[in-house]
């Protein structure tokens, strides 16, 4: 996981803590929205990913203005974008973040795992 966090920080300029939180949010989103078999394969290929997801879910009270906005936007990729923004990821860094995470996923889990994930989630392809 340290390698992925380093790659994301190098590509996006985010600090390591923000990158780690953002990766956790994205993986939690994939678990919720993506095809279970492929997402399980991806998680298995990324040691430490379950811990990141658990950490990202700790702060999921759904309260406050950002929680309300995320709820109004209906979730999906837009809801993920709101979570990333509230975690400190600027809008302009979301696509590079997604691209780096998915490139790393392709290297570790393979295209046969990542392709179906991207194909199953509406709107995700514009960020990866």
Our count of domains for the chain comes to 1
pLDDT in tens, 77-105: 999 999 999 999 999 999 999 999 999 99
Burial class (CB in 10 A: 0-12, 13-18, 19+), 55: middle
pLDDT tens string 49-68: 999 999 987 865 544 444 44
Instruction: Summarize the confidence of residues 21-47 as an average pLDDT.
Output: 96
9 vs 17: CA distance, rounded Å:
9
The CATH number given to whatever domain includes residue 38 is: 1.10.490
The model's confidence at residue 74, banded by pLDDT at 50, 70 and 90, is low
Domain with 13, as residue range(s), is: 2-126
- Name the DSSP letter for residue 121: S
Q: What is the mean pLDDT of the chain?
A: 89
DSSP-based three-state secondary structure for 63:
coil
């Amino acid at each position: 996981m340290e390698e992925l966090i380093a790659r994301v920080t190098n590509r996006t300029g985010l600090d390591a803590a923000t990158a780690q939180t953002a990766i956790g949010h994205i993986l939690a989103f994939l678990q919720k929205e993506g095809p279970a078999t492929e997402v399980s394969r991806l998680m298995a290929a990324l040691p430490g990913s379950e811990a990141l997801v658990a950490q990202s879910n700790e702060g999921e009270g759904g309260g406050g203005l950002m929680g309300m906005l995320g709820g109004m936007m209906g979730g999906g990729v837009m809801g993920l974008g709101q979570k990333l923004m509230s975690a400190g990821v600027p809008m302009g860094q979301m696509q590079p973040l997604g691209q780096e995470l998915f490139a790393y996923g392709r290297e570790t889990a393979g295209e046969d795992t990542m392709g179906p994930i991207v194909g199953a989630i509406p709107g995700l392809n514009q960020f990866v």
